[in-house]
């Protein structure tokens, strides 16, 4: 068993971990310990289970066996395994994006149907009617996206535009022609487009038509599975090139669609103050934790929790009201748009339940541990699964249907409220700590803040007040003390005057330690140039750009700067980092950052070390192919140094 200080730097996690130990509740850290020693072949990526002649594994010390039964060597196996990870990550993000596009389409079609049935016409044409389960909250963004996509907007209603945008998005998933994705073409600057077009030829594989430009979001994911089937693609170069292409289908397709269409449906985030950490749970309220990724659900739960009837019911049971808080990325979605407090990042999902104060944890998809059900059994907490594609044994299943979203959301909230009397007051212990911070830095909000363009940031970079920008992303991983590397890397970069932007569980970590407060700029963790810049503009030294699909906001921002300077993204003094990476989605993000021209650090060594050629491609050769590559470094101090060096190298190349 670990000491509580070894698992996290977050005192709320430490307290709840200690509590779990006292109560004999098994958590992620015990399960990790029971897995020790973890399989060396797996860690190096040299085991193959892609056919039933296997499983095969390669001797990592150079002796026999050097090949699998089919003859695949270590590099082929490592590359194939990596491609499958990228494909799974891209699939998760993109299926989320598809779901949002379908929701927009469903809403537009319902508006059409209601209109035909004679319901109030104007409201339905504007898609502002609350007879619809989902409305268009940001019509301006809808028009902007439509215009970018080349859709004629003149004389069309919001309803017609919403339908057309949803259809273009859905077409990008399944189209079969060789053209690049329409969303990619609409968003990417021509210089970076050219990099994608010529990348494969530069890698010696000119038969990749259109280079690494993704053609169909689903198509590239399917092709990843095809290529890695026994007896198909064996060259690590072509396997990895297809990995870049698949990840770009995620970045400039699936994830981008998720972000943009969510903004249309739920509103584009604007700067707002909110709170983070387990202290946001309230002792005398019904606590509902929304956990997972898709705001299509969490938005509705937030709405339903404001229903006077349900609040009254909660009061009847002796609660003061209903308190909805977030966890992981769906938490970030409602945090960014409504300032709903976020209870924690990935490693706090079990900890939230251990407080004994959670009536329901409402989950949809991704990053939800099945163990939450086991922990919940020790308390009165109900785990409610809602997605038809994610069922948790032992949970309550209230499956979501967008057409009946309001009704189902109310049923879910009611289930939570009715569980309040089952709470044992004696067993409640909520850590006090929580932290305030400013969130909501969408690209639109950033542009607005800086007066309509990015000149102030660009000038500060040219002057050297800011040395560059780092995009920090990704998970917690119990192999690393929770949040330790997130915060160390952030501080080490800010000390060197690097402006931070970030998403996902990194963003929640940063918020918990006060980094999203403007006054953080006064601490010793921020260099003088960045301090001056942050103060001048009244911003924190790090900007929360949202959930993991919102990594596309970072790409769009980088792309805008690249456009202004008329260079590809790879020329910018910009780096990425996933200090505590854990998911396949993080692998896809890292890959699309690199493919888009942003050199990216990983704090967890991915399972590739068994393939020396693969390692060389990922960490060196990609510089010549896409202008960026991976840096792998578990030590946060060394990692920050390497990232800073990269920024300085890029500055020199730009002559600044």
Residues of the shown chain interacting with ligand NFS in the complex, contacts defined by CB under 6 A: 293, 328-329, 345-346, 367, 474-475, 504-505, 548, 582-583, 585-586
Q: Which is closer to ligand NFS, CB of 213 or CB of 489? A: 489
- What are the residues whose beta carbons fall under 8 Å from the beta carbon of 212, sequence distance 6 or more? 196, 199, 200, 241, 244, 245, 248, 595, 626
Instruction: At 463, list the tokens.
Output: 């002057």
Q: Which is closer to ligand NFS, CB of 78 or CB of 258? A: 258
Q: Which is closer to ligand NFS, CB of 47 or CB of 325? A: 325
Q: Which is closer to ligand NFS, CB of 269 or CB of 356? A: 269
Tell me the C-alpha to C-alpha distance, in Å, between residue 191 and each of 174, 196, 216. Answer: 26, 9, 21
Q: Which is closer to ligand NFS, CB of 41 or CB of 441? A: 441
Query: CA 291 to CA 345: how far, in whole Å?
Result: 10
CB 473, min distance to ligand NFS, A: 7
| 378 annotated to bind ligand | no
| 551 annotated to bind ligand | no
Q: What string of DSSP letters covers 539-581?
A: --SEEEEESSTTHHHHHHHHHHHHHHHTS-GGGSSEEEEETT-
| 328 annotated to bind ligand | no
Q: Which is closer to ligand NFS, CB of 157 or CB of 503? A: 503
Q: Answer yes or no: are the C-beta atoms of 5 and 13 closer than 8 Å.
A: no
| 505 annotated to bind ligand | yes
Token pair 């487009």 is at which residue? 193
Q: Which is closer to ligand NFS, CB of 100 or CB of 127? A: 100
| 475 annotated to bind ligand | yes
- The sign one gets for the Cα dihedral 434, 437, 441, 445 is positive
Query: CA 498 to CA 573: how far, in whole Å?
Result: 10
Distance of CA 471 to the CA centre of its chain: 12
Q: Which is closer to ligand NFS, CB of 474 or CB of 597? A: 474
| 548 annotated to bind ligand | yes
Task: Please state the φ and ψ torsions of residue 62, each to the nearest 5 degrees.
Answer: 95, -15
Q: Answer yes or no: are the C-beta atoms of 158 and 142 closer than 8 Å.
A: yes
- What are the residues whose beta carbons fall under 8 Å from the beta carbon of 382, sequence distance 6 or more? 359, 360, 361, 376, 395, 396, 415, 416, 419
Instruction: At 650, list the tokens.
Output: 């890029």
Instruction: At 60, list the tokens.
Output: 């990592």
Q: Which is closer to ligand NFS, CB of 129 or CB of 387? A: 387
Query: CA 480 to CA 364: how far, in whole Å?
Result: 26
CB 476, min distance to ligand NFS, A: 6
| 39 annotated to bind ligand | yes
CB 504, min distance to ligand NFS, A: 3
CB 573, min distance to ligand NFS, A: 25
Q: Which is closer to ligand NFS, CB of 344 or CB of 527? A: 344
CB 96, min distance to ligand NFS, A: 9
Query: CA 144 to CA 140: how far, in whole Å?
Result: 6
Query: CA 627 to CA 629: how far, in whole Å?
Result: 7
CB 489, min distance to ligand NFS, A: 15
CB 611, min distance to ligand NFS, A: 24
CB 399, min distance to ligand NFS, A: 22
Residue 132: closest CA among 412, 407, 334, 403:
403
| 47 annotated to bind ligand | yes
CB 583, min distance to ligand NFS, A: 4
Query: CA 240 to CA 618: how far, in whole Å?
Result: 9
Residue 491 sits at the vertex; the CA angle it makes with 487 and 496, to the nearest 5 degrees, is 155
| 367 annotated to bind ligand | yes
CB 503, min distance to ligand NFS, A: 8
| 293 annotated to bind ligand | yes
Query: CA 569 to CA 560: how far, in whole Å?
Result: 9
Binding residues for [4Fe-4S] cluster: 39, 47-48, 51, 56, 70
Binding residues: 39, 47-48, 51, 56, 70, 293, 329, 367, 475, 505, 548
Binding residues for [Ni-4Fe-4S] cluster: 293, 329, 367, 475, 505, 548
């Amino acid at each position: 068993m670990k000491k509580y200080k070894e698992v996290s730097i977050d005192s709320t996690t430490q307290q709840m971990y200690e509590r779990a130990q006292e109560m004999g509740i098994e958590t992620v850290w015990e399960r990790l310990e029971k897995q020790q020693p973890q399989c060396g072949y797996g860690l190096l990526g040299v085991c193959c289970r892609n056919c039933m002649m296997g499983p095969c594994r390669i001797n990592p010390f150079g002796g026999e066996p050097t090949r699998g039964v089919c003859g695949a060597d270590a590099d082929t196996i490592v590359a194939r395994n990596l491609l499958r990870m990228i494909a799974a990550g891209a699939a998760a993000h993109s299926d989320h994006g598809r779901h949002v596009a379908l929701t927009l389409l469903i809403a537009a079609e319902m508006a059409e149907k209601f209109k035909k049935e004679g319901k109030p016409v104007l409201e339905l044409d504007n898609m502002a009617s609350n007879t619809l389960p989902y409305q268009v909250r940001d019509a301006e963004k809808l028009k902007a996206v439509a215009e970018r996509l080349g859709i004629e907007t003149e004389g069309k209603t919001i309803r017609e535009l919403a339908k057309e945008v949803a259809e273009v998005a859905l077409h990008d998933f399944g189209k079969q022609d060789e053209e690049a994705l329409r969303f990619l073409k609409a968003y990417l600057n021509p210089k970076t487009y050219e990099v994608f077009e010529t990348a494969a030829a530069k890698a010696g594989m000119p038969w990749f038509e259109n280079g690494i430009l993704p053609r169909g979001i689903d198509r590239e994911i399917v092709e990843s599975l095809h290529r890695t089937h026994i007896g198909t693609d064996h060259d690590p170069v072509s396997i990895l090139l297809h990995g870049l292409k698949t990840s770009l289908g995620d970045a400039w397709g699936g994830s981008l669609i998720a972000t943009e269409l969510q903004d249309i449906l739920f509103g584009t985030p604007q700067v707002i103050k909110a709170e983070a950490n387990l202290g946001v749970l309230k002792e005398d309220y019904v606590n509902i934790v929304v956990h997972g990724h898709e705001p299509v659900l969490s938005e509705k739960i937030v709405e339903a929790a404001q229903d006077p009837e349900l609040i009254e019911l909660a009061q009847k049971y002796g609660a003061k009201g209903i308190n909805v808080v977030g966890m992981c990325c769906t938490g970030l979605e409602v945090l960014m748009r409504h300032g709903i407090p976020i209870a924690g990042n990935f490693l706090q999902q079990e900890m939230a339940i251990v407080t004994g104060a959670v009536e329901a944890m409402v989950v949809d998809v991704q990053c939800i541990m099945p163990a939450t059900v086991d922990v919940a059994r020790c308390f009165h907490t109900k785990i409610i699964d809602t997605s038809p594609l994610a069922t948790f044994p032992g949970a309550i299943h209230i499956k979501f249907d967008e057409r009946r979203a309001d009704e189902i959301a109310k049923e879910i909230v009611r289930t939570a409220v009715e569980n309040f009397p089952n709470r044992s007051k004696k067993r409640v212990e909520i850590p006090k700590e929580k932290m305030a911070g400013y969130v909501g830095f969408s690209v639109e909000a950033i542009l607005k803040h800086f007066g309509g363009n990015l000149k102030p940031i660009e000038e500060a970079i040219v002057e050297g007040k800011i040395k560059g920008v780092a995009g920090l992303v990704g998970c917690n991983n119990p192999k690393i003390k929770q949040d330790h590397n997130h915060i160390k890397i952030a501080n080490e970069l800010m000390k060197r005057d690097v402006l931070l932007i970030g998403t996902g569980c990194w963003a929640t970590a940063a918020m918990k330690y006060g980094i999203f407060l403007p006054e953080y700029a006064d601490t010793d963790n921020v260099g003088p140039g960045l301090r001056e810049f942050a103060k001048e503009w009244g911003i924190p030294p790090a900007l929360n750009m949202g959930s993991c699909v919102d990594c596309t906001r970072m790409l769009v921002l980088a792309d805008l700067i690249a456009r202004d300077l008329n260079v590809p993204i790879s020329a910018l003094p910009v780096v990425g980092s996933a200090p505590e990476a854990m998911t396949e989605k993080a692998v896809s993000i890292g890959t699309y950052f690199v493919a888009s021209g942003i050199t990216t650090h990983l704090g967890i060594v991915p399972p590739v070390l068994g393939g020396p050629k693969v390692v060389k491609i990922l960490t060196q050769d990609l510089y010549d192919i896409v202008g960026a590559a991976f840096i792998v470094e578990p030590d946060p101090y060394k990692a920050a140094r390497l990232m800073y060096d990269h920024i300085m190298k890029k500055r020199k190349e730009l002559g600044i």
